[in-house]
């Protein structure tokens, strides 16, 4: 069966559809993006579904997306997502905030008896009896023109999301756990979700638990520097410095470039580009008060 949607790839039609969509109290929203060689996800397609239409907006072809941002940030319109975090991260990076109010069908699903963290395809199957195709899950969304199959795949995501929302909204009306769901939605809007303090991300390095004292302080310094550099250069963290390299450097505590060269996980390109900065961060870590791994109830986190 043919999938009905509008593809919007010019500013004039973008203005038109955004005005048309303002009449609705809610919109289903999804994004397609690429994040293979950047720190920040690159928005490649934006899908919107109202109760009576589906629109695919091409942000690569349209220079000015302000009309659609104005629509999405209109607080009189509920934005419906499934597993919203990655979609919201894109908007946060582009606009410094996330669109509210929002409704996340993945968060709402357990209130209706479905599994926690249920995937979108499984939820569509469970609620609508529809099996989604998987042929485009690894597609290149940056390529242009997009193929018809790609566009239909993207459109179906919000078409079914809209139907699921309508079912959920009716079933959840007056539900005893609505306040809990509101709290979960509010948590998704916090700045720290999308721009966490670089100085605190070292705790996510698994091997950090085995470090203490100056070695742990150096690991924290290197992790902080990596995060700051990845954001500034818009490159993946592992392209700046791998976890393995951070661990090996923090364990060896090299004092000069020659000693740094002995660490196999630090390749020549990294050493040439960042060697002096790494040594500076090592020195800072050694000179600062020894760092201890945080504990909860007497146990390391």
Q: Which residues are annotated as catalytic?
A: 30, 32, 87, 153, 157
Tell me the sheet residues that pair with 30: 47
What radius of gyration, in Å, describes the C-alpha atoms of the chain?
Answer: 23
Euclidean distance between CA atoms 68 and 77, whole angstroms: 13
Euclidean distance between CA atoms 21 and 54, whole angstroms: 10
Are the C-beta atoms of 98 and 194 separated by less than 8 Å?
yes
Tokens matching residue 155: 């459109």
Residue at token pair 């008060």:
289
Euclidean distance between CA atoms 187 and 243, whole angstroms: 28
């Amino acid at each position: 069966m043919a999938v009905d949607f509008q593809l919007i790839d010019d500013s004039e039609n973008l203005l038109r559809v955004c005005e048309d969509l303002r009449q609705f109290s809610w919109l289903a929203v999804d994004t397609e993006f690429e994040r293979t060689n950047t720190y920040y996800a690159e928005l490649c397609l934006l899908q919107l579904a109202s109760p009576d239409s589906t629109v695919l907006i091409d942000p690569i072809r349209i220079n000015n997306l302000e009309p659609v941002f104005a629509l999405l940030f209109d607080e009189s319109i509920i934005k419906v997502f499934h597993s919203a975090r990655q979609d919201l991260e894109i908007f946060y990076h582009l606009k410094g905030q996330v669109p509210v109010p929002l409704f996340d069908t993945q968060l709402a699903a357990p209130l209706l008896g479905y599994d926690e963290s249920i995937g979108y395809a499984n939820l569509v199957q469970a609620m609508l009896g529809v099996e989604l195709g998987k042929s485009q899950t690894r597609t290149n969304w940056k390529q242009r023109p997009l193929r018809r199959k790609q566009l239909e795949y993207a459109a179906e995501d919000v078409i079914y999301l809209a139907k699921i929302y309508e079912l959920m909204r009716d079933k959840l009306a007056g539900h005893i756990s609505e306040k809990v769901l509101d709290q979960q939605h509010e948590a998704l809007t916090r700045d720290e979700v999308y721009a966490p303090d670089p100085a605190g991300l070292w705790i996510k390095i698994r091997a950090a638990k085995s470090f203490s004292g100056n070695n742990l302080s150096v690991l924290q310094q290197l992790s902080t520097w990596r995060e700051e550099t990845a954001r500034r250069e818009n490159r993946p963290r592992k392209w700046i410095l791998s976890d393995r390299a951070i661990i090996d450097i923090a364990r060896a505590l090299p004092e000069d470039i020659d000693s740094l060269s002995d660490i196999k996980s630090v390749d020549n390109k990294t050493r040439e580009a960042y060697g002096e900065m790494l040594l500076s961060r090592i020195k800072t870590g050694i000179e600062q008060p020894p760092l201890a791994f945080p504990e909860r109830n007497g146990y390391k986190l």
